[in-house]
Chain A
Amino acid sequence: MPKAVGIDLGTTNSVVSVLEAGEPTVIPNAEGGRTTPSVVGFSKSGEVLVGEVAKRQAITNPDRTIRSVKRHMGTNWTIELDGKKYTPQEISARILQKLKRDAEAYLGDTVNQAVITVPAYFDDAQRTATKEAGQIAGLEVLRIINEPTSAALAYGLDKEGADQTILVFDLGGGTFDVSILDIGDGVFEVKATHGNTQLGGDDWDQRVIDWLVTEFKNTEGVDLSKDNMALQRLKEAAEKAKIELSAVQETTINLPFITATNEGPKHLDMKLTRAEFQRLTADLVEACRGPFEQAIKDAGLSKSDIDHVVLVGGSSRMPAIQELVSSLTGKEPHKGVNPDEVVAIGAAVQAGVLKGEVKDVLLLDVTPLSLGIETKGGIMTKLIERNTTIPTKRSEVFTTAEDMQPSVEIHVLQGEREMAMYNKTLGKFQLVDLPPAPRGIPQIEVTFDIDANGIVHVSAKDRATGKEQSITITGQSSVAREDIERMVRDAEAHAEDDRRRKEEAEVRNNADSLVYQTEKLLKDQGEKITGDEKDTVEARLKELKDALGGDDIEAIKRATEGLVTASQTFASRLYEQAAQAEGDASAGATPPNDDEVVDAEIVDEEKGA
C-alpha cells in the first residue's frame, strides 16, 4: 500500500515523517540522521550528492553546490551546470527525491504522495514552485500547508474547539518567524507573520566562538581566528556548549592542542556558565522581540487574545528564548514534540487525514486497568496488562491446587494490586465436573478476549474433557477516569507491601507443594529410604507443616530449606535410579508440558474467597 508522507522542506534542513497506526514517526535518512541538510552538490564526475554528503564537499565545489535553494523558490533564478539550466524547483526536487528514497527504504513500501510545508509568507508563485518540485520528484502533492499551521496540527490544536488564536514562534538555524493563526471550524487562517530571515541559532554559536577567541587571545596571546583548523574545532565546540547550556548551568569547553607556539602546545580549557552565555547573546534574544510585537500588532490583537503558543526550531530550546516567549505572551508554550521535527510531524498528520487514514475506526482504545484471575494464595495473576491496545486475546494454562479437586472457580479481577482482595471483582464462575486427578495434573486453559468495544469474554476450558464455561463482562472500560487514576496510584503506593504479601504467598505455596511432594514420595517410594533418612525427613516434614500452620514467614522459609536439605540425598538417589529405569518406562501419564503450564494454581473453591 503506497504511503503518503509529510515533508518539511526547510531552508537549511529538511525532515520527512509518516503516520503509522495513527502515530507520527520521523524517518531517519540513509546516513542515520533525522534531519537532512537541504544541500545539493553536482560533482565534477557527474554524480548528484544530496544532504550531509553534499555539505561535506561544498567547500571543494562551491560553484556546483547549492544551499538554501528555498530562498530562490518562485523566482526565475537558475543555475547552469555542464550546459544545462536548473530551476529552483529542479534543485528542490533532488532533495525531495532523497527524502522519498530514504523513506521508501525505511518503510519497505512505495511513497508516492506527500504534504509539503512552506513558510506562511510564501506567495502563489512560491507555492506553485514547491508543488512542481514535488511532482518532479515523483510525488503527488496532496497539499501545500503553512509551516506554522503544520506545527499547530502536530499538537492537535485544530481539535481544541472553534475560534482559537495560536502564536507560532519559529527560531531555526538561520531564520526567525513569528506567525499568528486563527482557527475556526478546523480551518486555519494566518492573521499575521513577521520575521527576520537573517537571525538564527548560528548567530548564537558565533557569539560563543568570538568569546572563545577573545578569551584565548587575552590569556595565551594567540589569535585563533587566523587558524582554520582551530576555528573548525571552535565551531563544533561552541554549538555543543550552546546545546549543553539548555540543560545545565555550566559547561566546560576543552580543546587540547588547539595551537602551538615556540614555547610548545597550547590547550584551550574554559568554563562557560549559562549566565555568561545569556549575557553574550542578550541582544540576539532582544532582536526576537520586534517581530513578535509587530506580528501581534498586524493581527490587530493584544497579547491576552493568544490561546496557545507553539515553539518551532531547534534554537527555541534555549531557556532564554523560552523565558522571552513566556514573558511576552503570558502563556506556557506547548511542549512534548521535538521542535526540529514538529513541522514535518504536522504535515504527516495532515497527509494521514487527507488519505483518510485517521478514521474513528482506527482510534483503538486501551484497557485502562489490568485484568486477571485469582490464583492460589490470593494472588492476582494478570493476563492482560493495563494500557494493552484492544481488541486483544490472551490465554494461559492453569492447574488445580488440591488432589481430586472437582471444580475450579474463576475469579475475574481488574486492578493493579498484586493481591486479589484489593482489586475489583468483575465476575466469578465455576468450571465443574473435573475428572479426579492429583493436583497439578489438570490443564485448564483460561482465555481473556476483549473486543473493540471493551467487552470482556472470559472462558475456562478443561483440556482433558473439553468442558468449557464462560462469562461476558460489559462496561469494564466505563470505570471513571478518577477511579482509574486512584487505582493506579494505590498500586504504586502499596507496591512494597504488595510485593511482600505476594512473596509470602509464594513462600507458602512453595512450602505447601514441597510438603505434598515429600509426602507423596514417602508414600510411593517409602521402601527405598533408609530408617535414619526417613526419620530425619519426617521430622523436617513435621516442622514445615507446623510452620505452615503459623504466620511466621521466616520460619516457613527456614523449615522449607530444612526439608529440602534433608530429602536431597534421598531424592537424588531416586532420580539416578529413575534415570536408569527411564529406558524401560514408555507409556503412562504424560505430565503437563512445562512450557505451557504456568506456575500458578487456581484456588480451589473451598479455599477461594
Chain B
Amino acid sequence: MSDVEREPEPEASPPDEVAEADALVAEAEAVIDADIGAIASERDEYKALAQRIQADFENYKKRVLKQQTEHLERAGEELVTKLLPVLDTADLALAHDENESLGQVVGALRDALAKEGLERIDPGGQPFDPTQHDAVMHEAAEGDDGPTVSEVLRAGYRWRGRVLRPAMVKVTG
C-alpha cells in the first residue's frame, strides 16, 4: 500500500515544486523590484539634494560677491557715521553764531567728505519723502500740495547713494 500510495506523489509534487519555485522567484523579484524602487527613489532624493546644495552654493557665491562689492563701495561708512554728530554740532554752532573761521573749517570738512561720497539731505520746502526724511513733528494745513517739509531739524546724509540717516524734519500738510 505504501508503495501504491507513494507512486502518485512524485507526479503530484512537481507542479507543487514548480509553483513553489515560481512563487519564490516571484517573491524574490518583488523584493528586487522593491529594492530597485527604493534605490531609485533614494538616488532621486540624493540627486535633488545635490542639485539643491549646488544651487544654494551658486547663490551663496553670487551673494558673497555682491556683498563684497557693496562692502568695498561703502568702505568708510562706519567712520562717516561716527562723524555725523560732529557735522550736526557744526550746523548747530553755525546756526547760532555766524562765525567765519568756524564756517571755513566746517566748509573744508564738508567738501572733503562730499568728495568721498557723502551727500547732505537738506530738504527744506520740498515734498515730504519718508525714504529720505523722518517726520518728528507735524502741522496740519489746508491745501492740496501734499505734505511738505516746513523745517529741517537735523540734516540727513547719504553715503554713496544709500541713506545713512534720514533728515529729521517737521512736516506741514
Q: Does chain A have a CB within 8 A of B43?
A: no
A33 to chain B minimum Cβ distance, whole angstroms, is: 11
CA–CA, A32 and B130, complex, Å = 16
Q: Among the listed stretches B13-21, B27-35, B58-66, B99-107, which one makes contact with chain A, having 4 or more residues with CB under 8 Å of it?
A: B58-66
Q: Among the listed stretches B1-9, B88-96, B113-121, which one makes contact with chain A, having 4 or more residues with CB under 8 Å of it?
A: B88-96
Q: Does chain B have a CB within 8 A of A279?
A: no
Q: Does chain B have a CB within 8 A of A265?
A: yes
Q: Are B128 and A60 in contact (CB under 8 A)?
A: yes
Q: Among the listed stretches A102-110, A342-350, A456-464, which one makes contact with chain B, having 4 or more residues with CB under 8 Å of it?
A: A102-110
| CB contact between B55 and one of A1, A44, A49, A61 (< 8 Å): that residue | A1
| CB contact between A57 and one of B51, B92, B96, B130 (< 8 Å): that residue | B130
Known pairs A60-B138, A257-B89; A54 contacts B59 (CB<8 A)? no
Proximity string of chain B (112-142) to chain A, C-beta cutoff 8 Å, 1 when within and 0 when not: 0000000000000000101101111110000
User: Which residues from chain B contact A228 at a C-beta distance below 8 Å?
Assistant: 136-137
Within 8 A of B (CB), among A21-63: 21, 31-32, 41, 44-45, 49, 53-54, 56-61
Q: Does chain A have a CB within 8 A of B162?
A: yes
Q: Does chain B have a CB within 8 A of A256?
A: yes
Q: Are B56 and A256 in contact (CB under 8 A)?
A: no
How many A residues, CB 8 Å from partner?
32
Known pairs A20-B60, A361-B49; A56 contacts B89 (CB<8 A)? no
| CB contact between B128 and one of A54, A57, A108, A265 (< 8 Å): that residue | A57
B79 to chain A minimum Cβ distance, whole angstroms, is: 17
Q: Are A54 and B130 in contact (CB under 8 A)?
A: yes
Q: Does chain A have a CB within 8 A of B52?
A: yes
User: Which residues from chain A contact B89 at a C-beta distance below 8 Å?
Assistant: 256-257
Q: Does chain A have a CB within 8 A of B53?
A: yes
Q: Are A108 and B63 in contact (CB under 8 A)?
A: yes
Q: Does chain A have a CB within 8 A of B146?
A: yes
Q: Are A44 and B153 in contact (CB under 8 A)?
A: no
Q: Does chain B have a CB within 8 A of A229?
A: yes
User: Which residues from chain B contact A302 at a C-beta distance below 8 Å?
Assistant: none
Q: Which residue of A lies closest to B55 (CB)?
A: A1
Q: Does chain B have a CB within 8 A of A363?
A: no
Known pairs A1-B52, A32-B162, A109-B59; A56 contacts B96 (CB<8 A)? no
User: Which residues from chain A contact B155 at a C-beta distance below 8 Å?
Assistant: none
| CB contact between B168 and one of A45, A107, A232 (< 8 Å): that residue | A232
Q: Are B130 and A49 in contact (CB under 8 A)?
A: yes
B2 to chain A minimum Cβ distance, whole angstroms, is: 63
B109 to chain A minimum Cβ distance, whole angstroms, is: 16
User: Which residues from chain A contact B163 at a C-beta distance below 8 Å?
Assistant: 31
User: Which residues from chain B contact A45 at a C-beta distance below 8 Å?
Assistant: 146
User: Which residues from chain B contact A106 at a C-beta distance below 8 Å?
Assistant: 63
B110 to chain A minimum Cβ distance, whole angstroms, is: 18
Q: Does chain B have a CB within 8 A of A260?
A: yes
Known pairs A59-B138, A228-B136; A21 contacts B96 (CB<8 A)? no
| CB contact between A21 and one of B53, B146, B153 (< 8 Å): that residue | B53
A381 to chain B minimum Cβ distance, whole angstroms, is: 28
CA–CA, A57 and B133, complex, Å = 8
CA–CA, A53 and B132, complex, Å = 9
Proximity string of chain A (1-30) to chain B, C-beta cutoff 8 Å, 1 when within and 0 when not: 100000000000000000011000000000
Knowing that A56-B166, A60-B128, A362-B49 touch, tell me 8 more A-B residue pairs with CB under 8 angstroms.
Answer: A20-B56, A21-B60, A53-B131, A59-B138, A60-B147, A108-B62, A229-B137, A260-B96
A sample of 23 inter-chain contacts (CB < 8 A) reads A1-B51, A1-B55, A20-B56, A20-B60, A21-B53, A53-B131, A56-B130, A56-B166, A57-B128, A59-B137, A60-B135, A60-B147, A107-B59, A228-B136, A228-B137, A229-B137, A229-B153, A256-B89, A257-B93, A264-B96, A265-B93, A361-B46, A362-B53
Which B residues form the contact surface with A (CB < 8 A)? 46, 49, 51-53, 55-56, 59-60, 62-63, 89, 92-93, 95-96, 128, 130-131, 133-138, 146-147, 153, 162-163, 166, 168, 171
The 9 A-B pairs with the shortest beta carbon distances in the complex, nearest first, are A257-B92, A57-B130, A56-B134, A56-B130, A60-B171, A53-B130, A108-B59, A60-B135, A59-B138
